[in-house]
Amino acid sequence: MILAAGRGERLRPLTEETPKSLVEVRGEPLLERHLHALSAAGIERVVINLGWLGDKVMERIGSGRRFGLGITYSNEGDNILETGGGIHRALPMLGKDPFLVVNADIYTDMAFSNIALEESDLAHLVLVPTPPDKDAGDFSLSGGRVRNAGDELLTFSGVSVYRPEFFAGCSAGRFSVVPLLRRAADADRIGGSVYAGLWRDVGTPARLAELNA
């Protein structure tokens, strides 16, 4: 699943007419870069959630055939459900097996085929070294286990794998996935890994300009 429903407030005015997921970095829309990478990883079906200017995403991406993918859209319209709510709404489209989730607004050369979910875990998070322009990290990693506290806080990359059971007990509506991750980390149900290669959160005009320089 690719999370692409957000409005991209911090990238305005660029995102007044362009969906954040279609913002171009080095001549290629972020969403298309992810789709190529997912296809290269052997993934065949992708769910994309839509919100702000979602019709432009569907017009540009279509069925996914040119990427070698079958794409289904989960259209949230004007009621954007945030990360947790968006994934929860798409669960019937995602099936019963573990699934990969990628935030549309990151730029990375990460190989999505290298992410493994342990049998006893509900989720696996890919973490990255916290960039200098971020005040603090999100989680620590100890022996391959994601923790809420530790000596070195790493940043959640926006790439993760979940079992559908991770969302058991959740109700439909708007909510963030972060509190669920915090609880699961406290229960020792989340594995993690660190990616030290190319990764950037394309969340502001300054970061976008830096990548395009």
For residue range 157-196, what is the model confidence (pLDDT) as tens digits?
999 999 999 999 999 999 999 999 999 999 999 999 999 9
> Would you say residue 11 has pLDDT above 90?
no
> Would you say residue 8 has pLDDT above 80?
no
DSSP-derived pairing of the beta strands 99-103 and 155-162: antiparallel
Tell me what pLDDT residue 163 has.
Answer: 98
- Name the band, by pLDDT with cuts 50, 70 and 90, for residue 213: confident
In sequence order, which residues have a C-beta less than 8 Å from that of residue 13 and are 6 or more positions away? Answer: none
Pull the structure tokens for residue 163: 């079992």
Tell me what pLDDT residue 187 has.
Answer: 97
- Name the band, by pLDDT with cuts 50, 70 and 90, for residue 206: confident
Q: Read off the pTM.
A: 0.95
Rounded-to-integer distance, Cα 157 and Cα 29, Å: 19
Across the beta sheet with 155-162, what order do the strands follow?
A: 70-75, 45-50, 2-3, 99-103, 155-162, 123-128, 190-194, 145-147, 140-142
In this prediction, what percent of the chain has a pLDDT beyond 90?
A: 84
69 phi and psi angles, rounded to 5 deg: -125, 155
- Name the band, by pLDDT with cuts 50, 70 and 90, for residue 154: very high
- Name the band, by pLDDT with cuts 50, 70 and 90, for residue 155: very high
Q: Which CATH architecture has domain 2-212?
A: Alpha-Beta Complex (3.90)
DSSP-derived pairing of the beta strands 28-29 and 24-25: antiparallel
Rounded-to-integer distance, Cα 95 and Cα 107, Å: 27
Best CA proximity match to 148, nearest among 134, 137, 133? 137
As a whole number, the mean pLDDT across the chain is 95
Residue located via tokens 């055939």: 65
For residue range 80-129, what is the model confidence (pLDDT) as tens digits?
999 999 999 999 999 999 999 999 999 999 999 989 999 999 999 999 99
The full set of domain ranges for the chain reads: 2-212
For residue range 35-56, what is the model confidence (pLDDT) as tens digits?
999 999 999 999 999 998 999 9
State the DSSP code for 112: G
Cα distances (angstroms) measured from residue 208 to each of 11, 18, 24, 66, 111: 9, 14, 9, 26, 22
User: Tell me, what amino acid is at 168?
Assistant: A
Rounded-to-integer distance, Cα 56 and Cα 79, Å: 17
